[in-house]
Structure 1
């Protein structure tokens, strides 16, 4: 009996020490402010607005919840961001992608049961004063495909297997075939890489190969910014918001090919791409960003608060300041959390 009592006392001491140790990891040294970390995987094109959003949310959380928030912020191509969760089994609180369809295709229902459409964009061709034929590109933007095809011009786009901007860029070039009635895709893509098309259906092999040094492909679209700024790359396909954020020159493309115009959705839908990385086929459509909080988010309650912050007035202001259009109201699908229902339009589709 005595031994049992001693064992119980020892167990109580161990448990109390464990609780104290656990509490210490959630409080600052002063013992007043709780600490918490949010893990966010997001598209590279969201880097600038998300950095500002995280900074303002950290201040908001400390003032309103007494929580000091730190962020594990990982920018990548959106396909890669999703596959960190689905293929590599990594934990995250929030996933935000440049193509919302990746969430229902690859994450619902196993990893999340809702998602929100919140922002739009368009594909442009960006460059600097250092770029070859920059003045000509500005004066004659309809000749963009002729300038990119010149033997002394280097141009780039991101990897279609990792990044929506990559597969959107090659779909833009295939749409250009239809719009201009010229073999633009064959000239700029098929002759320079192992990406190919059968009619209007594009195939991106799992391992992308570049056959011409004039073409540069990187994992995500923002990886190409520094190459253009340094003058080692002349032009690249990029989102308009990123071009604006980095103060690059750019030309806009016709609405029939830039993936901006919702009224042109049927025209866009003529083109599709199969990705070697996932085996999934994606139809060209207007650019819409999506975000979700994962079912097993390590800090789900705080992640929902961050999502509210993103979808509310502060998030919309930050996106406007960073040249990206925000959907108002955002559109939510699935088992939408009660906490955000007042900020979104819940769709039954």
Structure 2
């Protein structure tokens, strides 16, 4: 999302809304941790999962976030380098003539993903491979390709993962569809049953689990959210920017970038949503 924000949405927001846009991209969980520790005080926080917003909610988290809105939906894909030694096999997998996981199991195949403890995409990757094991009836698929949740040979910072792919350091990565679209790299579309991109498969996704610090977490549809932290120094401009992304031209840019539109449902306390944004709310999240 960093590329579309920096190259398209940011400059247009500057000219249309007369605000000074300055963004920073990283894993949503890592960003939430920085906000929580006071290292960052953004006016607007966009997350790749409601779980990052929830890290900042409640008295124990100084009520840094009281509400969040659904911004857009996405899905996981396997993005690959067209110059990879495995490009022909990956292209065949994209056409459905060979299983994608068989290509990734080939000796010498280099695979990249993000840290499941710092980035929702990395966490979703864990769920996706668990679901794939069952879907393809391949009980060893997770171990053969990922090795472990935090395999150091595969895990890269979220902000550098795509550059690892485009510079040829890895053959393929797990990416959001919008990332593959905005970077112009080929990708393999995954079935709805495993790509975490269909809200109708919510119950099935929840069967995939990951344990973190003794807590069992469950898979869920990928949902990007947006909020204004209570520490915002310019809440008026922040509200204008949120409206621009949720219902204005910024929203149209996101859809062209590969995202999928969703109803603007609310998480958290409606009373804390700025009055100018109340009309955007289209129900509440479960």
Rounded to whole Å, the distance in 1 between the matches of 2:81 and 2:207 is 32
Q: 1:135, CA displacement in angstroms? A: 1.7
Q: 1:262, CA displacement in angstroms? A: 1.5
Structure 2 counterpart of 1:218, from 145, 156, 181: 156
Determine the structure 1 residue equivalent to 2:92.
Answer: 139
Matched-pair contact (CA < 8 Å) for 1:137–1:147: yes
Correspondence 1:266-285 to 2 at 5 A = 266-276=203-213, 281-285=216-220
Matched-pair contact (CA < 8 Å) for 1:259–1:268: yes
Determine the structure 2 residue equivalent to 1:312.
Answer: 247
Rounded to whole Å, the distance in 1 between the matches of 2:249 and 2:275 is 20
Distance 1:282 1:130, change over 3 A: same
- 1:332 partnered with 2:285: no
Q: 1:348, CA displacement in angstroms? A: 7.5
- Runs of 5+ in structure 1 lacking a partner? 1-45, 63-68, 196-207
Rounded to whole Å, the distance in 1 between the matches of 2:285 and 2:182 is 35
- 1:128 partnered with 2:81: yes
Superposed CA deviations along residues 263-290 of structure 1, whole A, max 9, x for unmatched, are 21111110122335xx654311111111
Q: 1:123, CA displacement in angstroms? A: 0.5
Matched-pair contact (CA < 8 Å) for 1:100–1:291: no
Rounded to whole Å, the distance in 2 between the matches of 1:272 and 1:331 is 25
Q: Which moved more, 1:303-312 or 1:279-288?
A: 279-288
Structure 2 counterpart of 1:162, from 118, 139, 154: 118
Superposed CA deviations along residues 116-152 of structure 1, whole A, max 9, x for unmatched, are 0110111010112212322222223451111111111
- Runs of 5+ in structure 2 lacking a partner? none
Structure 2 counterpart of 1:107, from 52, 56, 63: 56
Q: 1:242, CA displacement in angstroms? A: 0.4
Determine the structure 1 residue equivalent to 2:226.
Answer: 291
Distance 1:84 1:281, change over 3 A: farther
Rounded to whole Å, the distance in 2 between the matches of 1:313 and 1:149 is 44
> Which TM-score applies when normalising by structure 2?
0.89
Distance 1:152 1:89, change over 3 A: closer
Larger radius of gyration: 1
- 1:249 partnered with 2:163: no
Q: 1:232, CA displacement in angstroms? A: 2.2
Matched-pair contact (CA < 8 Å) for 2:104–2:111: yes
Q: Which moved more, 1:171-180 or 1:52-61?
A: 52-61
Rounded to whole Å, the distance in 1 between the matches of 2:146 and 2:255 is 34
Determine the structure 1 residue equivalent to 2:143.
Answer: 186
Structure 1 counterpart of 2:40, from 90, 101, 104: 90
Superposed CA deviations along residues 133-182 of structure 1, whole A, max 9, x for unmatched, are 22222223451111111111111101111111111112111111111121
Number of equivalences? 274
Superposed CA deviations along residues 193-244 of structure 1, whole A, max 9, x for unmatched, are 4x3xxxxxxxxxxxx452xxxx421121x51222222222111110111001
Distance 1:164 1:170, change over 3 A: same
Distance 1:331 1:135, change over 3 A: same
Rounded to whole Å, the distance in 1 between the matches of 2:180 and 2:200 is 24
Rounded to whole Å, the distance in 1 between the matches of 2:108 and 2:284 is 50
Distance 1:209 1:184, change over 3 A: closer
Matched-pair contact (CA < 8 Å) for 1:100–1:290: yes
Q: Which has the higher strand share?
A: 1
Distance 1:50 1:129, change over 3 A: closer
Q: 1:101, CA displacement in angstroms? A: 2.6
Distance 1:123 1:331, change over 3 A: same
Rounded to whole Å, the distance in 2 between the matches of 1:348 and 1:75 is 26
> Which TM-score applies when normalising by structure 1?
0.74
